[in-house]
Structure 1
Amino acid sequence: MKIRYDDKDDILHIEFSSAPVVRDVSQSWHLNLGYSETGLAELTILDAKANGYWPIASSAPRRRAPRP
């Protein structure tokens, strides 16, 4: 998986597979899905920062460094 963010245009692109995209679907003005022959290959979010999708928040608990 690759995640790229274009700060200039506020576009978040998440690539799940390097397979060629055979079909693009616009779910809404801000969300575009790219499908390969086997399923979802990529996701593109326009105005990502403006709509709260960037930076991506982690729900995983933070690890603390062990004490000496």
Structure 2
Amino acid sequence: MTLTVSAVLILALTAVTLIRNRAVGLGSALVLFLFGFFTAGTGAYQPIHDLCGNFANALASIR
């Protein structure tokens, strides 16, 4: 749950920054896509959430 909340906050701040700076590209589209799935809780939420969790675990294990 902690990862989900922090991921939503990070993605929300990133999305706001990208929109305010009028940056349009693959990176901004990906951020907004992930932000939508984290907040919407659709059927695709769980696989995307698991992928982000696995990515965070992989980053943590590098150290």
**Scaled by the length of structure 1, what TM-score is found?**
0.32
Choose between structure 1 and 2 for higher RCO, CA contacts under 8 A separated by at least 6 residues.
2
Instruction: Tell me which structure has the larger Cα radius of gyration.
Output: 1
Higher fraction of helix? 2
Higher fraction of strand? 1
**Scaled by the length of structure 2, what TM-score is found?**
0.33
